[in-house]
Amino acid sequence: MKRKSIGLSLMMATLVAAGSVCAWAQDKPVKFRLVASLTSLDWTQTTNTRDMKVWHQMFEGLYGMDEAKNGYYLELAKKADLSKNGLVYTITLQPGVKFQNGEPLKASDVVFSYHRAMKNPRFNYLTSPIADVAAVNDGTVKITLNKPYSPIAHTFFSVKIMNQKEVESQGAKFGTIPHKAGTGAYYVTSYNVASGAKLEAFKGYWRGAPSINNVEYIVIPDDTSALIAYQNHELDYFEDVPLSAWKDLAQSAGANAKLIKGNNIMFMAVNYNSPKKALANLKVRQAIFYAINKHDINLAVCDGFGTEATQYMPSEYVATSPVNGFQTYPYNPTLSKKLLAEAGYPKGVDVGTVMTYGTSTSNNAKMAQVIQANLANVGINAGVKVMESSFVTPKLYAQDYDICIFADSMNYDFNNIRQQVHSESKGMYVVKYQGGPFDWQGMEKLIDLGASTADTAKRRATYTKLWSMVMDTATILPCLHRPVGIVWSKNIAIGQPVPTYYKIRLFTKK
């Protein structure tokens, strides 16, 4: 099932010249690709990775993430002291930090930002352990937890701090128009939902003004078009390079190319509450899982460069991720047919539609097509529907689907699995376990237990029990960890490449 982009051989003939433009003016924008339109300039309105990559340049949290070294670090927090009972964090803020609108960072802005996130059910998986956030003085914040919670560092990283005055002054328009509500090294000067956004360096940035003044994010949904754009010097930093082009492109780019195992997962979910009643049958769901050939998915999506997945989170990135001790559903079409017969469908069954988001040539679409073919091979009929993410993801979160292809990334603690399996994460999960024929209360107890201790081995053991319970439901099937291929212009230096959380403030022009 190996595929190649249209016109790839012609493009590769000239790609060696890509990024070699000389005498680059300092004010010429450094250009990045967006695979789809930005959802919002308000970080609380989106959890899409493409959006995060833009507002990650605009906003900062109390903690930052050094993805290359796989660890959190103090960012807007200068110091974080934890009480002996493990319930109260006293955060001392970095002095001299200003928002992009010139307002000084104050504890009241931190309180405002946390309260705003705590009211948004999309972020319950991050904020539910927090009982209270209060300002001690302008430079100190007290965050009180309702129970000891070892993964709180991810919350401190994920919740971004915004200037209350800027947010409230824009009111309902906030997120739809440019603003200067962040403390990050860049702010948006132009925003168009269809075409992308332009950013400018914040000269008053507390770490010092970045060396790159202007940045432009351009919406280019199609991979072939993105390759051509890079070839024509219309992109300077091109990540998630189509892997069918990787060998030739990496050879052309030389030292300006890097293939990194991504901290991501592509998975299939089955809605046991679907109108297709057959999906309520455990044996039908198991038959679906055993019918899936992950090797075929790897070839179609990653040209074989990916890693067939059994874990939700790669253990290379997540120390608490289960490694074994749970059902993995290896490819077994014979067993799949046997389970179908035992479920009362010896001649096969119609299970509705495999739904996903993206374009017709996106990774999700390719995976959906492979799954459709795999299912047909054992007598299971399923259609495929690929739609724009802004339309389809609300349907998935509302469990308005039969089977779906979904992707997740940027997890650094297995506690993040709560966004897929805990009832508090409404608006995030694609399978609703609460109220179903599963021990969902037991799952949620294990999530809480895993977060109650800092001991890595104990946490991994707890999460292994949890993940085993989830896998036994045959509702979520991890399929593939995708590598991230990155190439960049010879006119910029990017430091150590990372799969997701790049910081443009660390880039320089040559």
For the chain, what is the domain count? 3
Q: Work out the pLDDT band at 19, boundaries 50, 70, 90.
A: very low
pLDDT at 366 exceeding the cut of 90: yes
Whether residues 489 and 474 share a domain: the answer is no
Backbone angles phi, psi at 105, to 5 degrees: -70, 125
Whether residues 400 and 291 share a domain: the answer is yes
Whether residues 471 and 495 share a domain: the answer is no
Whether residues 232 and 147 share a domain: the answer is no
d(CA 353, CA 396): 12
Q: What would the pLDDT profile of 37-74 be if each residue is shown by its tens digit? A: 899 999 999 878 889 899 899 999 999 988 777 678 99
Q: What would the pLDDT profile of 70-94 be if each residue is shown by its tens digit? A: 678 999 999 999 999 999 999 999 9
Q: What would the pLDDT profile of 103-146 be if each residue is shown by its tens digit? A: 999 999 999 999 999 999 888 878 989 999 999 999 999 999 99
Q: Work out the pLDDT band at 244, boundaries 50, 70, 90.
A: confident
Mean pLDDT of the chain: 91
pLDDT above 70 coverage of the chain, percent? 95
d(CA 265, CA 307): 10
pLDDT above 90 coverage of the chain, percent? 75
Whether residues 255 and 155 share a domain: the answer is no
Average pLDDT over residues 464-474: 98
Average pLDDT over residues 367-378: 98
Whether residues 99 and 67 share a domain: the answer is yes
d(CA 244, CA 304): 9
Whether residues 360 and 460 share a domain: the answer is yes
What's 343's domain CATH number?
3.10.105.10
Q: What would the pLDDT profile of 260-306 be if each residue is shown by its tens digit? A: 988 899 999 999 999 999 999 999 999 999 999 999 999 999 999 99
pLDDT at 9 exceeding the cut of 60: no
pLDDT at 413 exceeding the cut of 60: yes
Residue 432, SS3?
coil
What's 152's domain CATH number?
3.90.76.10
Average pLDDT over residues 352-375: 95
Q: Which pLDDT does position 426 carry in this prediction?
A: 82
DSSP string, 24-74: --TTSPEEEEESS----SSGGG---HHHHHHHHHH--BSEEEEGGGTEEEE
